[in-house]
Amino acid sequence: MNADSNIAEFLVAGLGRLRPARPQPPDAPQSVFVLRNNDIGDLLVVTPLFEALRWRYPSARLVAGVGSWSFDVLQNNPHLDAVVPVSAPWHNKYSRPRDGSRLRHAVASLRYLCFSQEVRELRRMRFDIGIDVLGSRWGALLFLRAGIPFRLGVRGYAGGHSAMSQCVAYHSAEHVGRAALRFAEMLGLKELPENRPQIFLTEGEKENGAELWRRSMAESAHPRKRVILAPGAGLPEKRWPIENYQAVVRRLAARGDVFMAVVGGPSDRADARRLAEVAPQACRNMAGELSLRAAFALAASADLVVCSSSSMMHAAAAFRIPTVVVLGPFYSSARSHAAQWGHGGSCVILGPERNAGVGLPSPDEILAPIARFLGPVQK
């Protein structure tokens, strides 16, 4: 921890002493608040925590505080009583200041804590327990402002532990979803739900996803394997080169039994168009056309997802769809990334291993796991 971090933690500790944390949780809390105002994939991977907390406190009011950009992720979640906006400008790519300076970030965060209507609403709701899943100084300050007496955070990641009642320890090799479930263990839960992302689609949404595939493949003379390509990522350096994706599209189209849908946001349209142009009869550009829920429904009816480390990776895991994840040059170890974010044998993560002198995988290297998941060519 550097000098600036030590000073910031000292200030958080001082404010925490002004509003001492309750050392033990109440036996029968009336309300529990879970903060996860991070990116969409970050929220998806910790969704089993909501089920665990519902098991632990079946009568409590369970509320998730997430960025407005993530509301669709938790739609229809049966374990939550409410989802409230916490579009705080820290630890996400949606609301943080664009210039990235520490001063601007600090000013924006303090302004949010002091003047946001969202924070005033949290104070009004008077929660008994608060869980900052990521664990940060800003999250701790938010809990202090909200007047939450029993506060759970993380020690060893982004601070804030000095103002918390109890903390889980951060371990870089531990899966993020499993680490989140430790909060439920800390609160006394003995058995845990499966550590797998949860998305709750309606029957209508599922049917719409299947129908979109049917319409897209209407001109196909025989059944095809349905493959989603999601090349986008939060930062350009997190992406596998689009030229490599083009090579994969070309090879998959040559099989003759594959239809590909390219998904992503509006910023991914140009890359998606380049992929679709490689094989117009076997690949459709849907980037920027689908809502988040519609993209989830499309994934639920897919046979395979090929993507960056993104929300689509975790959406595929929610529906147990085989996934090949290809990392860009931003990452130093695909093996370490899999330990933190992967989803078992049906999720293959390929990328650099800098300690071993291994760079980005080639298109040929990812075709083997793709072929394993798709099986032999269907005539």
Q: Tell me: the pLDDT tens digits for 311-360? A: 999 999 999 999 999 999 999 999 999 999 999 999 999 999 998 899 99
Any idea what the CATH number is for the domain that residue 303 is in? 3.40.50.2000
Residue 302 structure tokens: 């897919």
C-alpha–C-alpha distance, residues 81 and 365, integer Å: 45
| Residue 368 and residue 259 in one domain | yes
Show the CA angle centred on residue 338, arms to residues 336 and 340, nearest 5°. 75
C-alpha–C-alpha distance, residues 330 and 249, integer Å: 23
Q: Which pLDDT value is given to residue 15?
A: 87
User: What is the average per-residue pLDDT within 71-78?
Assistant: 98
15-29, 59-73, 76-90, 194-208: least confidently modelled range = 15-29
| Residue 169 and residue 308 in one domain | no
| Residue 116 and residue 159 in one domain | yes
Residue 194: inside a domain:
no
| Residue 275 and residue 335 in one domain | yes
| Residue 227 and residue 352 in one domain | yes
Is the pLDDT at 1 greater than 60, yes or no? no
C-alpha–C-alpha distance, residues 187 and 168, integer Å: 11
Residue 276: inside a domain:
yes
Provide the pLDDT confidence category of residue 99 given band limits of 50, 70 and 90: confident
| Residue 134 and residue 171 in one domain | yes
Q: Which domain holds residue 362?
A: 203-374
C-alpha–C-alpha distance, residues 13 and 155, integer Å: 13
Instruction: Please give the share of the chain, as a percent, with pLDDT higher than 90.
Output: 86
Q: Which pLDDT value is given to residue 2?
A: 64
How many CB atoms within 10 Å of residue 75?
A: 16
User: What is the average per-residue pLDDT within 39-59?
Assistant: 98
Residue 197: inside a domain:
no
Q: How far is CA 174 from CA 36, 84, 155, 341, in A?
A: 18, 28, 14, 9
The answer to whether 236 touches 255, Cβ cutoff 8 Å, is: no
User: What is the average per-residue pLDDT within 67-91?
Assistant: 97
Query: What's the number of domains the chain is made of?
Result: 2
Q: Which of 340, 361, 348, 370 is nearest to 41 (CA)?
A: 340
Q: Where are the alpha helices (DSSP H) in the chain?
A: 3-18, 40-45, 48-56, 102-115, 117-125, 137-146, 176-186, 203-216, 242-255, 269-278, 292-300, 311-318, 334-341, 363-374
| Residue 135 and residue 215 in one domain | no
Residue 379: inside a domain:
no
| Residue 178 and residue 37 in one domain | yes
Q: Which pLDDT value is given to residue 159?
A: 95
Q: Mean pLDDT for the chain? A: 94
- Give the global pTM: 0.95
Provide the pLDDT confidence category of residue 3 given band limits of 50, 70 and 90: low
* 172-230 residue pLDDT tens: 999 999 999 999 999 999 999 999 999 999 999 999 999 999 999 886 656 789 999 99
User: What is the average per-residue pLDDT within 261-287?
Assistant: 96
